[in-house]
Amino acid sequence: MRIVVLSGFHDYRTSRRASIQALTDAFVRLGHDVSFVSTRFSRLSKRTGDSRVFLWDRANRPEVVDGVTCYLWRTSVHPFAARQPLLSAVMGHVFPLFAALPNRWFDDTMRAADAVIIESSVAAIYVRRIRRLNPRTRIIYFGTDRLDTHGAHPRVQQELVAAGPLIDHFALRSPALASEFGWAADRLYLAGFGVHPPDFAGIGPSPYTRPLNGVSVGSGLFDSDFFTRVAPLFPQVDFHVIGCGTTFDAPPNVHIHPEMRFRDTLAWLKHATFGIAPYTYAVGAEYVADSSLKLAQFEYLGRPAVTAAFAAGGNPNRHGYAIGDTASMAAAVTAALAQAGKVEPRAFPTWDEVAARVLDPARYPETKIG
């Protein structure tokens, strides 16, 4: 099949890896012809710390990397979610205009696609354009997050609902997301977390210099307050923060590292005493208990985890705390330290299996939600 993956946030070539890149790799391994299209990128991106800025001079032309045809669509400006009510109202009218901007390569690629995977992001505004260009293609919405949880403009959700009948089915990372798609209840399927076992083979030696270490990877809903409160209470523990996307006044035993390639992070995860998922709360964010990549990776590697209570999800290997409550945070770290070395690694399906379910969920009736 000719498969197009469409994202409004990620590019396949960035070191920051999410489930959408893992899914793309799986499509390639399954023998499909895969393109990865990234949009919502402009001069404004240089001012917001966008992880794709290093690709500025490679934008607006296709480039094949690891068997994937990559395309970053750069425009002069792009619409965004604004806090000021007046500006937000103006932006609401800009999104449809932005979705209609001419791009011959984009249109030709969509016309040729057998399936288009739309990541939950601003990419949802292109559904009607894609269906108009290609009435026969299979349009699949890959729901990894709630749009409002990650600050998408309300117009994006409105466009998604309006175009909902044009979407063949919805592959959701968590059943907790289903309540957001009541208008598409007959087309909801579960596409959970996967692993690619070769990624975890041959992980290198420990990068740590002291015996007790907690590690956090990623920037999603990141709460630096956890480290400023907890680290001084555990001077015997080194806290490592990888790719959090911000800086903060860190205690001496908190070590902030730049963003790393996915495989480079694995030694930090495997040899950690415990993992940390320091989430701050956002509306409806409870679904991260099922969708969090970092929490799933800690389980796969047999590591206890410390996280905000809403993300613990009743999992015995996750120690939840109340956000902003120092005593609760300290208790969670103490519990994780006591459980270190006692967590049985959890098995997960491979990303190849997940990719097959995303493409054709009717073959896997057990994935139907509702």
The whole-number pLDDT of residue 304 equals 98
HSE of 26 in the Cβ direction (CA atoms, 13 Å)?
A: 22
What does the pLDDT profile of the chain (370 residues) look like in tens digits? 999 999 998 999 998 788 999 999 999 999 999 999 999 999 999 988 888 999 999 999 999 999 999 999 999 999 998 889 999 999 999 999 999 999 999 999 999 999 999 998 899 999 999 999 999 999 999 999 888 877 889 999 999 999 999 999 999 999 999 999 999 989 999 998 999 999 999 899 999 999 999 999 998 899 999 999 999 999 999 999 999 988 899 999 999 999 898 999 999 999 999 999 999 998 888 999 998 999 999 999 999 999 999 999 989 999 999 999 999 999 999 999 999 999 999 999 999 999 999 999 999 999 999 7
169 and 215 in a single domain? The answer is no
- Three-class SS of residue 141? strand
Q: Is residue 32 part of a domain?
A: yes
The whole-number pLDDT of residue 91 equals 92
Range of the domain at 204: 198-339
94 and 220 in a single domain? The answer is no
179 and 265 in a single domain? The answer is no
HSE of 12 in the Cβ direction (CA atoms, 13 Å)?
A: 28
332 and 360 in a single domain? The answer is no
Q: Is residue 224 part of a domain?
A: yes
The whole-number pLDDT of residue 219 equals 87
Active site residues: 145
Rounding to the nearest 10 degrees, give the CA dihedral for residues 25, 26, 29, 34.
Answer: -60
Q: Is residue 160 part of a domain?
A: yes
Q: How many domains does the structure of the chain reveal?
A: 2
227 and 306 in a single domain? The answer is yes
Q: Is residue 346 part of a domain?
A: no
CATH number assigned to the domain comprising residue 116:
3.40.50.11010
Which phi and psi (to 5°) does residue 305 adopt? -135, 150
CATH number assigned to the domain comprising residue 323:
3.40.50.2000
Q: ∠ at Cα 144 (303, 117), nearest 5°?
A: 130
- Cα gap 307→318, rounded to integer Å: 7
183 and 213 in a single domain? The answer is no
186 and 141 in a single domain? The answer is yes
Instruction: Name 48's Cβ contacts closer than 8 Å, sequence gap at least 6.
Output: none
31 and 163 in a single domain? The answer is yes
277 and 151 in a single domain? The answer is no
260 and 148 in a single domain? The answer is no
Instruction: Name 175's Cβ contacts closer than 8 Å, sequence gap at least 6.
Output: 190, 290, 369
33 and 162 in a single domain? The answer is yes
Q: Residue 312: what residue type? A: A
Q: Is residue 80 part of a domain?
A: yes
Q: Is residue 344 part of a domain?
A: no
123 and 250 in a single domain? The answer is no
